Structure 1
Amino acid sequence: MAEDSGAEKTEQPTPKKLQDAAEKGQIARSKDLGTAFVLIGSAAALLVFGKMLAMAVLTIGQRMLRLDEKDIFETNSMFTAWGDAGGELIMPLIGIFSLILIAAFLGNTLLGGFNLSWQAAGPKASKMDPLKGLKRMFGLQALVELGKSFLKVAVVVGVAFFLLKLFFMDIMALSLMSEPNNIESALYFLGWLFLGLCASTSLIAIVDAPYQKWNHVRQLKMSLQEIKDEHKNSEGSPEIKARIRRTQMQMSMKRMMQQVPTADVIVTNPTHYAVALKYDQGKFRAPVVVAKGVDDIAMHIRKIANGHKIPVIESPALARSIYYTTKLDHPIPEQLFAAVAQVLAYVFQLRLYRKGKGSRPKNLAKELPIPDEFKH
């Protein structure tokens, strides 16, 4: 891996790379986009609730500056006045702050989506490294941010000059108006001027948001070797997977061989195939294959069967048919019921005969009733 550390990163980041970066808090974010949304949301809130806020301020001013005999001699009049002021301001302020909160949430999640990362919130020693701090201050990203700052100032100053020139006469006319019309008009002009200035920041955000997304992907780009290593780590190396498969096969083989002593009969080929069948009338609807194998495994099944005195019946066609059509620990198909029934009947009669409880059974038929589609 040392020789690949300087490999050129030309490939797009994989979904796993993007997910790992998001878990660390590394997602595309545009501060200018969030700022533009907050400012425009604030201006819109001022336009929507500005009149209500102006009327509340006017009512509070009239209430605070007007005294009567009752207010002079009432010791709680000041607290009552503050309560009235709060009641007047609460609704417009709730509306304004609600719009600002919604705008802030949209502006900060529109690019990159909502992301909560505990790793990003945790302390990092690298952030306290002065050398890395200097690198961030004088790096390419810092130059880009400096350029954007100059651009912001130029755009905002230009838009402010244009708006002041456009509304100059209307603003000067406010001094000739009486209240409450002058307050409403002042807030109206203030709201539109503020909205115009805030809208100018969206010009920066329109440029910054695509740049931040491109820069985020650029920083996460991967080399071909990194993609190969990630695939190997996620899927597992071939050597480890092969070892796991061997271990699983060994464990499965061990469990299968442990079931051979419970079988009622072993049907063989006679040397290449061996199938162990178990039939419990109270438990199984049909005989079940508890073990099967070919060549060395078949020989091992026969060896265990001989050691436990389990009947071994030679029926090449039936052994091959059961081996290829029945899964381990599954009942045999219905098409083989008749053939297997003859084998089990012979085995059970032979078992009784050996116990001295019956006559010797007739030899098993060489040709058992096996359908052509089940012959292998």
Structure 2
Amino acid sequence: MAEDNDPESQTEDPTQKRLDQALERGDVAKSQEINTWFMIAGGTLVVSTFSGSVGSGLLTPLRNLLANSWMIKTDSGNLLALMQQIEVAVLAAVGVPLLMLVIAAIAGNMLQHRLVWSTESLIPKFSKLSPAAGFKRIFGKQAGVNFLKGIGKLVVLGVVMTTILWPERHRMEAMVKLDPMAMLGASTGLTVHLLGAVVAALAIIAIGDYFFQYRSWFQRQKMSLQEIKEEFKQSEGDPHIKGKLRQLRQQRSKKRMMAAVPKASVIITNPTHYSVALSYERGMSAPICVAKGVDNLAFKIREIAREHDIPIVENVPLARALYATAEIDKEIPVEHYHAVAEVIGYVIRLKRGFSAARQ
């Protein structure tokens, strides 16, 4: 893995395969500040939107409970039914706000990376027991950043809270004399204002922390040149092995061609370089190229053709064109039909002439 290698040798950007492997391990760029921001923002939204409905939803059943407390029967069955009624009332009042907080927590993770299921982080690693690793975690770069981040949050939140609450100090002192319902409304408005300012301030810290965490994660995924070479060998195959396989395929193809040459009807050749063996039988739509070669292979094709009395026709432009365009065991291209037909017609007439001479 990337973290187990020498950081000085990891100079190359990670490949997509390395990034995918990190994701499968659960090693992702993640900022806890993003999650915190989403939770606080979700809480602010809940307080500003549902504080009234939650309060009234809880107030009515509790008021009825206290008003009719003298009617409550204390046997186990009635007490259990009463507790169930209270649970239903509480869930009905706080269910939607809690669901919004859960969605906010999930959104904080999904915004940073797609959903990941990995058990690797649960596997114990003895390397974490190393004193050197522990010292690095306590006094390393990440620990230093977390310390500075904590100090920064304290300073920012202190400034924000002082800026908002200091002008309201006299109003807050007077709240103790207000009716509880009036005090609740006033404190709710002040709380929402304070939370909104905190959310705005923490957004800057969260964004900065995410870019830092992403950069740190990306640096951990960097690869050495040797790792890139090994990955290329695994994905594309060892070049030496691929060369051997290509050589074996060429040898087998050559043997198949040589075995097919005796079945050819004619060999069209350039006497010095090219040879193309064509097979044609009555009823076929077009001649088929059964073998072709250049230089030594072309000479071998002509040699086998002579051993099996296969006609060899010299046609320099046609031989070059067929070698360049015809594929083994496939019909020749349409543009060569006319020229090849003349050659095959010539061969057929030549064979008839030999047959007549023998008779």
Taking structure 1 as the reference length, the TM-score comes to: 0.76
Cα distance 1:199–1:91, how it changes in 2: closer, same or farther (>3 A)? Answer: farther
Give the drift of 1:48.
Answer: 1.1
Match of 2:312 in 1: 313
Match of 2:289 in 1: 289
Say if 2:326 and 2:333, in contact at 8 Å, map to a contact too: yes
Match of 1:62 in 2: 63
Cα distance 1:136–1:41, how it changes in 2: closer, same or farther (>3 A)? Answer: same
Q: How many residues matched?
A: 352
Is 1:341 the equivalent of 2:338? no
Q: Which has the higher helix share?
A: 2
Cα distance 1:5–1:139, how it changes in 2: closer, same or farther (>3 A)? Answer: closer
Match of 2:356 in 1: 359
* Worse overlay, 257-266 or 136-145: 257-266
Instruction: For 1:198 and 1:335, locate their aligned partners in 2 and report how far apart those are by CA, in whole Å.
Output: 74
Q: SS of 2:26's equivalent? A: coil
Say if 1:41 and 1:100, in contact at 8 Å, map to a contact too: yes
Match of 2:203 in 1: 202
Give the drift of 1:189.
Answer: 3.8
Match of 2:123 in 1: 123
Give the drift of 1:335.
Answer: 4.2
Following superposition of structure 1 onto structure 2, how do residues 12-31 of structure 1 map, counting pairs within 5 Å? 12-31=13-32
Cα distance 1:59–1:173, how it changes in 2: closer, same or farther (>3 A)? Answer: farther
Match of 1:253 in 2: 254
What whole-Å deviation, never above 9, does each CA across 1:243-280 have from its counterpart, x for those lacking one? 33323322322333333343333333446432211224
Q: SS of 1:274's equivalent? A: strand
Give the drift of 1:51.
Answer: 0.9
Cα distance 1:135–1:335, how it changes in 2: closer, same or farther (>3 A)? Answer: closer
Instruction: For 1:124 and 1:73, locate their aligned partners in 2 and report how far apart those are by CA, in whole Å.
Output: 52
Say if 1:272 and 1:298, in contact at 8 Å, map to a contact too: yes
Q: SS of 2:331's equivalent? A: coil
Match of 1:274 in 2: 275
What whole-Å deviation, never above 9, does each CA across 1:139-183 have from its counterpart, x for those lacking one? 222222222223333333443444443444444444444464444
Instruction: For 2:156 and 2:324, locate their aligned partners in 1 and report how far apart those are by CA, in whole Å.
Output: 79
Say if 1:33 and 1:205, in contact at 8 Å, map to a contact too: yes
What whole-Å deviation, never above 9, does each CA across 1:207-249 have from its counterpart, x for those lacking one? 3222222323333445566656666665556544433332332
Q: Which runs of 5+ in 1 are unaligned?
A: 362-376
Cα distance 1:360–1:330, how it changes in 2: closer, same or farther (>3 A)? Answer: farther
Q: Which amino acid letter does the alignment assign opposite residue 41 of structure 1? A: G
Instruction: For 2:190 and 2:160, locate their aligned partners in 1 and report how far apart those are by CA, in whole Å.
Output: 15
Give the drift of 1:30.
Answer: 1.1
Match of 1:242 in 2: 243
Give the drift of 1:54.
Answer: 0.7
Q: Which runs of 5+ in 2 are unaligned?
A: none
